[in-house]
Chains A and B, each alone.
Chain A
Amino acid sequence: MSADAMMIIVIAGLLSTGCAILGSFLLLRRQALLPDAVSHAVLPGIVLIFLLTGQRASLVTLLGATAFGLLCVLGFDWLRRTGIVASDAALALMFPALFSLGVLGISRFASGAHIDIDSAIYGDITFAPLRTVALAGVAVPRSLLITGGAALVIVLFVVLLWRPLHTSTFDPEFAETSGLRGQVASRALLVAVAGLAVVAFDSVGAILVVTFFIVPAATARLLTHTLGAMLVVAVTVGWLASWLGQRLAVGFDSSIPGTIGLVSVALLGLALLASRVMRRSRKPATPVS
């Protein structure tokens, strides 16, 4: 295996670590589409930065995108809490509104410039080893630093906020009444999701991010009975899909993110079969009189 191939596997694995952990919480909170919504909602941020600075693929662009990603998730959270619309409708209101704002901004002020999300912030993992930055004189792939840093921050985040995150995902009303401040933890989770989604889009592309947020978590849920086990299995599935996907993509000369995505779904299919077999072989719960 070449060094670049190994680098792609490590970057994908690190990315899947952060995504699988946060994605497990999103899946259980029925907010699985949140990363996809963020991927659209960032457009006005990119346009705004272009209008202000004339730049369209810089670090400032990433900050603009992050700001609107945060606006999307926090707006969603606020709308949901008002009780005016249901949770899924709140998300469906927020991101098309922001995306439309971005489209309007382009057509009104920047129709001459070529701006779209793909060219501005969406990277491709295939080229990730080639985009390097110098770190103490050594050329290190930018994506390795970003996904490694993100994975570390997410692991620390979940370890530190384990109790309020766990409790408010399971039973939000209890988390609130027992003084665990579940709403604070829930908002912190949304902010973490928006932040990770934007930096991950920049490193590896949207399809892989959305896949990594949800598919390993859904696979792990089928095989586990506690949240701790679910997170460990989800991260393992993410790394397995990264390794297998990269190898198969090279073997079949196909798209790396596409193949990693398909392998993830195939692993989900295998887990579904395994969980059926496990359930059938287990005895039913003993009723309590």
Chain B
Amino acid sequence: MTALSPAALSLRGVSASYGGAAVLRDIDTDIPSGALSAVVGPNGAGKSTLIKAALGLVPSSRGTVRFLGQPLARVRHRVAYVPQQDAVAKDFPITAVQVVEMGRYPHRGWFRRLRAADDEAVADAMADAGVSDLARMPLDELSGGQRQRVFLARALAQHADVLILDEPFTAVDTRTEAALLGILRGLCDGGKSVIAVHHDLRTVSERFDHATLLAGTVLASGPAREVLTSAHLERAYGIPLAASRAET
């Protein structure tokens, strides 16, 4: 992370609403590149909406969004996204390796066949995510943690520079969470940027470099330890819930 490199994600004047109700108002923030960054905040704070708006998934959103200093349309193949598990069709007939192969589609479009280099990227990604032995397994027979690893493998196979994950640690046990965080940390050490929506405040300051605290708008943004202070959390979560949650 240097002062010269453009932010992994930069938002200026971003607003978004669902069904007429404003969820985000005037978001101005930069999430640095080369860092493991968390987007945190209470339920309904607009965490998922923030990243979806950045990715162009919220039709009502307005404002300027830049990934690595460029509009998304120019750097689409450099940005990988892992949606929340709820957003994925649960009973879809698909094997783990087929999910990971989708990570190569941004490079191949609608028609071009996957080549040997793509197969290699898929195999490497599955090995890195620890799911090589699950390749032929139907997705609906995997545990929550195994599924999350498969989706992370799809993002790895994309060879993107920015990875965006929406609640990647729900429905996974603490051991898997630690393993996934280890993989994400490794990516950042290699110069990639990772942005994760996260709800567990306990792990943010120790595991993440950067945090953006949301409650409809950005309450604080910066190094994780400086953002997750009692004063900020009180503003985000309200009293008395804030004090107890912040200290657990």
> Chain A residues in contact with chain B, CB under 8 A?
28-29, 81-84, 161, 163-164, 167, 169-174, 176-180, 221, 224-227, 229-230, 284-289
Give complex CA distance A173, B155 in Å. 13
> Chain B residues in contact with chain A, CB under 8 A?
18-20, 52, 55-57, 59, 76-77, 79, 81, 83, 87-89, 91-95, 98-99, 102, 105-106, 109-111, 130-131, 133-134, 137-138, 141-143, 145-146, 149, 154, 158, 175
Nearest chain A CB to B89 CB, angstrom units: 5
Nearest chain B CB to A266 CB, angstrom units: 22
Contact in complex: B95, A161 (CB < 8 Å): no
Contact in complex: B110, A177 (CB < 8 Å): no
Nearest chain A CB to B134 CB, angstrom units: 7
Also in contact, A169 and B57, with CB within 8 A (given A178-B105, A180-B110, A285-B142): no
Also in contact, A227 and B81, with CB within 8 A (given A29-B89, A180-B110, A288-B149): no
* B60 nearest CB neighbor, chain A only: A83
Contact in complex: B83, A171 (CB < 8 Å): yes
Give complex CA distance A173, B53 in Å. 12
Residue among B19, B106, B137 making CB contact with A84, cutoff 8 Å: B19
Give complex CA distance A84, B137 in Å. 38
Residues of A within 8 Å of B81, CB to CB, are 173-174, 177-178
* A176 nearest CB neighbor, chain B only: B57
Residues of B within 8 Å of A286, CB to CB, are 133-134
Contact in complex: A285, B146 (CB < 8 Å): yes
Contact in complex: B93, A224 (CB < 8 Å): yes
Give complex CA distance A249, B205 in Å. 71
Query: What are 15 A-B interface contacts by the 8 Å CB criterion?
Result: A84-B19, A170-B88, A171-B83, A173-B57, A173-B83, A177-B55, A177-B56, A177-B81, A178-B76, A178-B81, A179-B77, A285-B143, A287-B143, A287-B146, A288-B130
Also in contact, A180 and B93, with CB within 8 A (given A285-B137, A285-B143): no
